Amino acid sequence: MAVAKMLRSIVERTAAAVTLTRGDVRAGKTLQSVFERSAAAVTLMPSVGQGTDTTTVRLREGTTCDVEEGSWQFVSDAEPELGGSEEHPDPGFYLRAALGTCFVQTAVLWAAHYSVPLTRLDVEVEADHDARGLLGVENRGARFTGLRYRITVESPAPAEDVQRVLDATYAHSPVHDSLQHAFTIEREEEIVAPVE
């Protein structure tokens, strides 16, 4: 009975923390308070911060793809050298953008957590590639051969405080961590005949 009561209390406190966090975001509260409430919520109940996101990619024509997740939509295409047009960014662009934006957003949160003001944060992401892997030439891997950040930070805070934010960002940026520690990607396939 005491365990059930304790669990109910944890669930109630976690739900309250999540509700307050969402309210803080809508009310324009400081990022520091949002960070602290979110951290408290996932500390009390880790499942609050866990989930699965699903993005759907549909072939439009040629190499052009429509990408959708919830209300978000965008278009991607291959580079012209690989049969695409120059009308839409290629997948590499979105990977670099994901890495860079995740880094910036994570840095902003950790800067707020450590009370380090940032007046400028620019991130340039470079990716080295070799098309031989994509085209099956010389048995090369199709992966990028290198990824680099070029980061410019401006802050009135001492350099060691800014470095603390950057170190926390490297350690906690989800896209950075996922690419740094690549995992096995599972797949499920379904081949269907066209309806006549």
Q: What is the pLDDT of residues 27-63, one digit of tens each?
A: 446 888 888 888 888 888 888 888 999 999 999 999 9
Give yes or no: residues 127 and 179 share one domain: yes
Give yes or no: residues 7 and 38 share one domain: yes
Give yes or no: residues 101 and 19 share one domain: no
Instruction: Tell me which residue has tokens 């990028």.
Output: 144
18: confidence class by pLDDT, cuts 50, 70, 90: very low
Instruction: Tell me which residue has tokens 């549909």.
Output: 58
What are 141-170's pLDDT values in tens digits? 888 889 999 999 999 999 999 999 999 999
Is 195 a member of any domain? no
CATH number of the domain bearing residue 128: 3.30.300.20
Q: Which pTM was predicted?
A: 0.78
Q: Distance between CA 62 and CA 65 in Å, rounded?
A: 9
Q: Distance between CA 127 and CA 33 in Å, rounded?
A: 35
Mean pLDDT of the chain: 86
Give yes or no: residues 58 and 104 share one domain: no
Give yes or no: residues 13 and 37 share one domain: yes
Question: CA dihedral in degrees (52, 147, 105, 121; nearest 10)?
Answer: -170
Give yes or no: residues 46 and 59 share one domain: no
141/115: higher pLDDT: 115
Token pair recorded at residue 27: 């009310």
What is the tally of structural domains in the chain? Answer: 3
DSSP letter for each residue of 2-58: HHHHHHHHHHHHHHHHHHHHHHHHHTT--HHHHHHHHHHHHHH-GGGG------EEE
11: confidence class by pLDDT, cuts 50, 70, 90: very low
Q: Distance between CA 57 and CA 66 in Å, rounded?
A: 6
Q: Distance between CA 48 and CA 186 in Å, rounded?
A: 24
State the pLDDT at residue 99. 95
Those residues whose C-beta lies under 8 Å from the C-beta of residue 152, and which sit 6 or more positions away, are 120, 121, 122, 123
Give yes or no: residues 103 and 159 share one domain: yes
Instruction: Tell me which residue has tokens 């099956």.
Output: 136
Is 193 a member of any domain? no
- CA angle at 171 for the pair 170 and 174, rounded to the nearest 5°: 85
Range(s) of the domain holding residue 24: 1-50
14: confidence class by pLDDT, cuts 50, 70, 90: very low
State the pLDDT at residue 21. 47
Give yes or no: residues 142 and 167 share one domain: yes
Q: Is the pLDDT of residue 19 over 60?
A: no
